[in-house]
Amino acid sequence: MKYALAKLQVYLLGSGPFVVYTDHASRQTAVKSPHISQRMARWLSLFAEYDFRVEYKPGRLNVVADALSCRPDYAVKTADANRIGIKRVSAPSSSLIDDVKAAYASDADAKQLLSYASAPSDETRRNAVDDDVIRIVVPNDYDLRMRIIYEYHDAPTAGHPGREKTYLLLTHDFY
């Protein structure tokens, strides 16, 4: 609805009252709720510019809108059995791993963890070290941490996720 109002603003502002038919029933309860989110408050202030009323119409009865919104190029496609789905493209680059290794040498805590994990014992065998990198530990190096955040947040392959999603992506590979 927000998209449609913004797209048709030239035609709708000052044109008099109009009706918006929607199958989005939860919108009605959200507007009547005494506690709304900041996003909803911004949307409501945008909606206040227009003279309209919203009428709920179940999707099965709103056939005209369904026909208009179902573009032929959005046709459902079947998945190819030979294709492999990709969960995540972003992973630490080899140069980043090399920089993490180099930063271990200047971080006393990381050095201690690395020597403990590399010592042959029954306890450390359960937590194997791969290629002399403790993959879940980020050394106490500000520039390195900023680079890691850049690769998982600002790089073109990262998709510029929000704060929470960036944090989740980082916790997959780093501690």
Angle between helices 142-153 and 94-106 (to 10 degrees): 160
Angstrom distance (rounded) from CA 26 to CA 170: 34
23 pLDDT higher than 60: yes
Q: How far is 154 from 143, CA to CA, in rounded Å?
A: 15
Spatial distance between the Cα atoms of 18 and 50, rounded to a whole number of angstroms? 9
Model confidence, pTM: 0.39
Average pLDDT, the chain: 74
**pLDDT, position 133:** 47
Does residue 13 have a pLDDT over 80? Answer: yes
Q: Given this model, what pLDDT does residue 139 score?
A: 83
Percent of all residues in the chain with a pLDDT value above 70, rounded to a whole number: 69
Distance CA 66, CA 159 (A): 30
- Rg of the chain on CA atoms, in Å: 26
